[in-house]
Amino acid sequence: MTRKVLIVGFPGVQALDMVGPFDVFAGASLALSAEGIEGYQSVVGSIDGQPVATETGLTFGAVKLPDPSEPTDTLILPGGRGVHAARQDSRLIDWIAAAAPHARRVVSVCTGAFLAAQIGLLDGCRATTHWAFTDQLAREFPAVEVDPDP
């Protein structure tokens, strides 16, 4: 069975935070297919289905984020300079909060931890983020045990 990986895109996302995980799952799929095993299908999704412009101006095609109750194997929350504006987008935050319980696993990359923390996903958990933002994460989300030097 092909496993679905959904990378949540938003304006100002860091390209590496999307491309890195995408390439890892694509590489795993290639290795699995060589063994006759189905792998992963990775897609970038945005709240309105429009292309996602990164903080450096690269643009990635995106599908509209699916019904949040649709099962997902891996939900990836990337970071980037746009993450703080994304946190103010109630449509996006509400979608993430509704989708997370239906994902087998939720992963944040770098400052994507702010998105996970905002919906309470990291409450009571040990977490980290980009070193320049660990103090902010700890200050804004005291229920999260922030590790500044994992």
Residues recognised as catalytic: 110
Q: How far apart are CA 109 and CA 44, in angstroms?
A: 14
Q: Are 134 and 127 in contact (CB under 8 A)?
A: no
CB atoms within 10 A of CB 29: 19
Spatial contact of 119 and 101, defined as CB atoms under 8 Å apart: no
The number of beta carbons lying within 10 Å of the beta carbon of residue 141 is 19
Q: How far is Cα 107 from Cα 77, in angstroms, rounded to an integer?
A: 6
Beta carbons of 32 and 39 less than 8 angstroms apart:
yes
Give the largest CA-CA distance in the chain: 48
What is the C-alpha separation between 46 and 86, in angstroms, rounded? 11
